[in-house]
């Protein structure tokens, strides 16, 4: 039995999406600045332009990578990212 | 004049704004739950302050997609006046009815204090009874009130006279000291400061009562 058929029969997901959301460059990131200051305070010199973002992971029922990516893309556009201030990138992990 | 207040899970200024609207109109507003699909007939819809959906993901992001918002957006596009205060402003930006976004305060602190505001445009139905030479004192209470938009958008807002209020002493890093903006049709106002918290001397001020009186006079 192929892996894909087995996955369909057992309902397990084959695709995992990892979505990384970051602030656009040029947008002030006060949390990044605070982290940078704290790092410098701990003696970590040379950590510059610290930016904080978020990672959202999920399992998808799609078995086709392109379909999984398209679905994740739609989720980013509709809810997960705010295009006014954020960029996103999507990784599909089988 | 009929009003409606939308209530999201973790709204916390819904009753305050209901009291302010009742004081100004003489009628209790309809309180409308976020899971409903239709807003009752209203001459003004208000989105209250609070922390809808716990500010999960981004402040206002989840509320902007809640079932009732489809009808709220539809009504606003048809011209029904819509006011968003604090979290309500964040929700309005997330729906796209207003441009820009509210980001984490530049100083990272939650700010909770009175803020002095300049009325930048008193030709909107929301502000027509307010004197431009007078500073209004409304409290701010937020963690994500740092208004952000790209320079082109900010230039356009200023060019079209769509900045309703500006901070005298910017508490949160907002671009160009912007505290409130209106949409291009002039029927949607979003603002971070809370007029509904200063509607009686017992609450420390009455500038908010003047704001609601002016709004109701313009819409009645």
Domain ranges of chain B: 3-219
- What whole-number distance in Å separates Cα of residue B96 and Cα of residue B153? 13
Is the Cβ pair B149, A34 closer than 8 Å?
A: no
State residue B32 phi and psi, 5-degree precision. -120, 120
Q: Among this protein's residues, is B30 annotated catalytic?
A: no
List the CATH code of the domain at B3-219. Answer: 3.40.50.880
Q: Among this protein's residues, is B194 annotated catalytic?
A: yes
SS (H, E, C) B143-179: CCCEEECCHHHHHHHHHCCCEEEEECCCCCCCHHHEE
Which residue is associated with the tokens 């005298």?
B168
Q: What is the pTM of this model?
A: 0.92
- What is chain B's mean pLDDT, rounded? 96
The architecture of the domain spanning A3-26+53-93 is 2-Layer Sandwich (3.30)
Residue B140 predicted with pLDDT over 80: yes
pLDDT of residue A28: 87
Residue B173 predicted with pLDDT over 70: yes
Is the Cβ pair B173, A78 closer than 8 Å?
A: no
Q: Chain B partners of A31 at a C-beta cutoff of 8 Å?
A: 104, 108
**Beta strand B163-167 pairing with B178-182:** antiparallel
Q: Among this protein's residues, is B86 annotated catalytic?
A: yes
Is the Cβ pair B101, A85 closer than 8 Å?
A: yes
Residue B53 and residue B65 in contact, taking contact as beta carbons nearer than 8 Å: no
- What whole-number distance in Å separates Cα of residue B139 and Cα of residue B113? 5
Distance from CA of A4 to the nearest CA of B (A): 33
Of B86, B93, B94, B142, the catalytic one is B86
- What whole-number distance in Å separates Cα of residue B158 and Cα of residue A87? 26
Domain ranges of chain A: 3-26+53-93
């Amino acid at each position: 039995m192929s892996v894909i058929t087995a996955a369909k029969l057992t309902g397990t997901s084959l695709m995992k999406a990892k979505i990384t959301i970051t602030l656009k460059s040029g947008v002030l990131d006060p949390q990044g600045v605070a982290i940078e200051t704290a790092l410098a305070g701990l003696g970590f010199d040379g950590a510059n332009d610290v930016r904080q973002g978020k990672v959202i992971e999920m399992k998808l029922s799609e078995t086709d990578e392109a379909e999984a990516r398209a679905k994740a893309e739609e989720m980013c556009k509709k809810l997960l990212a705010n295009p006014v201030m954020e960029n996103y990138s999507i990784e599909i992990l089988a | 004049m009929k009003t409606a207040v939308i209530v999201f899970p973790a709204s916390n200024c819904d009753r305050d704004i209901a009291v302010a609207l009742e004081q100004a109109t003489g009628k209790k507003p309809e309180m409308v739950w976020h899971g409903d699909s239709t807003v009752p007939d209203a001459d003004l819809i208000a989105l209250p302050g609070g922390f809808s959906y716990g500010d999960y993901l981004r402040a206002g992001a989840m509320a902007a997609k809640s079932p009732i918002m489809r009808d709220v957006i539809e009504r606003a596009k048809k011209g029904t006046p819509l006011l968003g205060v604090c979290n309500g402003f964040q929700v309005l930006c997330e729906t796209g009815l207003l441009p820009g976004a509210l980001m984490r305060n530049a100083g990272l602190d939650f700010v909770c204090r009175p803020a002095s505001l300049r009325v930048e445009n008193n030709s909107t139905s929301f502000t027509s009874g307010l004197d431009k030479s007078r500073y209004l004192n409304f409290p701010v209470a937020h963690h994500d009130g740092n208004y952000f938009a790209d320079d082109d958008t900010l230039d356009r807002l200023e060019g079209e006279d769509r900045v309703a209020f500006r901070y005298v002493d910017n508490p949160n890093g907002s671009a160009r000291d912007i505290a409130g903006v209106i949409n291009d049709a002039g029927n949607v106002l979003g603002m971070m400061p809370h007029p509904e918290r200063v509607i009686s001397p017992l609450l420390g001020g009455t500038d908010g009562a003047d704001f609601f009186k002016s709004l109701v006079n313009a819409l009645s």
